[in-house]
Structures are given as structure tokens and as C-alpha cells.
Amino acid sequence: MNEATRCGYIAIVGRPNVGKSTLLNCILGKKVSITSPKPQTTRGQLIGIKTVDDAQFVYIDTPGLHDAEKRAMNKYMNRLASSSIGDADVIVFMIEATRWDKDDQSVLDKLQDVKVPVILVINKIDALKDKSQVLPLMEKLTAKFSFTDIVPLSAKNADNVSLLEDLLKKFLPEGPFLFPEDQVTDKSLNFQLAEIIREKLIFATDQEVPYSSMVEIENYVAGEKLIEVSAIIWVEREGQKAIVIGKKGELLKKIGTQARKEMEVLLNQKVFLRLWVKVKENWTENEKDFRDMGFE
């Protein structure tokens, strides 16, 4: 690489469910971070990498910051998200165009002392019937914080996302690339496969089950014509296990079928997926437990 290259870390922060993972997937042009309408879908720091000509953007997708730290796992996720703020060369603070609440304010409070540029991204402008509503919101927020720039956009529809990327490039420090130019994420294949299963589980279940479940890839065997994947879905109680399995195993079969199809797209090969459901009581309350189970 010559001396003119730029490379830097960009932290995407915000409260749960503002569209951080959707934005990252849109920027990368492929799905590296799972999404769902349910908060706290993202659990750990996930890095997405985009290299364009002389610039490498290293995005940090973080769990949503929130005040309600009921479980040890929630506290852990908040620490992860907060730590990314200190690691970044530029910060993208993301909110919804249709809503501002105490968790948004809490995230903004954490940014008060940062020394790097902060770009405010107002997401979901496609949900506004009257686009003129964006201007009063921008005026309200500029009174709260000195943002470097403000970008209204729709991550879902990719509206104005390229404008955000152009702005971010200006703040990348000069330096060599940190990752190979063709690398898209820092996560292992096993992590990506586990997340695919967890996403299907989140959509298929309600109430506490998505927040009390974890997926662990137990075995991965790649053959010439078939890839065999074995995975364990961990839950906290026997009642949750029964829910995930479903009547006559139908729900677990549905989760497995949907996950297998997406794995085949990712791997470009036929996949045979085995799923088991096991119980580890109160694992979300014990940091050692969720670290031992591969929580990142």
C-alpha cells in the first residue's frame, strides 16, 4: 500500500432497534449482521470491512445501548457497546426519524466527552409521511450536541447511504489497511452459521425465548458435495426447550429448514443441518457461563 491510503474504525452506536445492523449490511452489500424487529438482536461487537480504492472502512456494529440492565448479559453488552466509542476514529450516532426517547438521550450523554467526529444519522426517513418533520428534529438535536454532520437516510432502502460513506471517508486517518482487501468481517464461519440459526429462532419465538437462547456450532464437516453442520440451541428452562422444539418437533424443523437454506446461499453448497435443544439454567445471569458458551 502507498502512503496515500486511509483506514479507520467507525463505531455505529445507538439504542436498540434503530437499524444499526441494517445500515452495516446495506453499506457492505451483503448480510454480515443478523437483523430482526426485536431489540438486542446484536449481542457482540461485529466488525464489517469495506475497502474501496485507497480507503478501508472498518465498521463496528455494536449492541444497542440501553438503561434497563436487568441481566448480567445486558450489562455485558452495554460494556461492549460503550468500549467501541473509545476505539473509534469517527462515530455514527444513529436514531430513528420517528422517535426520540430516554435511551437515545442516554447514548448521547455517553458521547459528550469524545474527541473524535460524531455524525448524526437519522434513520427510517422512509417512515415519515411528511419529510419536513426532519428539520425540527435536526434543530432540536443540534442544540444538544455539536455534530460534525447530520445525515437523514433510510438504511432499509439505501437512500442517502452513499452520502454517509462519502462523509466518513474524510475522517479516516492516513495509514495502511488493517485487513486484506477482500475480507468483509472479522467473525469466524462458525459464528456466522450460529447467527443464522439464532436469527431464525428469534423470528420463530416470542417473549423471553429469544433473549434466553444461544446457539453453539458443535461440529462442521465439509465434504466434496455436502457440508454437515451440527448445532446446539441453548435455553434457560425446560419450558423454553419445549417451545423451541414445538408440537411434534415442527417449530425446530422450521427453524432448521430456514437456517439451512440461508447457509447454502452463504456457502454455495448443499448443507445437512442437525439441531439439538439443551438447557443450561440461568446462563444469561452468569458472565462465565455465556463466555464459556462462546458469547463474544
C-alpha distance from residue 8 to each of 56, 81, 187, 204, 270 (Å): 7, 18, 18, 37, 37
Give percent helix, percent strand, percent coil of the chain, each to the nearest 5: 40, 25, 35
Domains in the chain: boundaries = 6-170, 189-292
The pLDDT score that the predictor gives to residue 1 is 43
Contact present, 84 and 11 (Cβ < 8 Å): yes
Query: DSSP letter string over 104-156?
Result: HHHHHHHTTT--S-EEEEEE-GGG-S-GGGHHHHHHHHHTT---SEEEE-BTT
The pLDDT score that the predictor gives to residue 65 is 64
Strand order in the sheet with 214-222: 214-222, 226-235, 270-279
Low-confidence stretches of the chain (pLDDT beneath 70) = 1-3, 65-74, 77, 80-81, 289-296
Strand, helix or coil for residue 270: strand
* CATH fold group of domain 6-170: Rossmann fold (3.40.50)
Q: What is the CATH number of domain 189-292?
A: 3.30.300.20
The pLDDT score that the predictor gives to residue 108 is 93
The pLDDT score that the predictor gives to residue 4 is 87
The pLDDT score that the predictor gives to residue 98 is 87
Give start and end residues of each alpha helix (H) in 29-97. Answer: 72-87
Amino acid in position 95: I
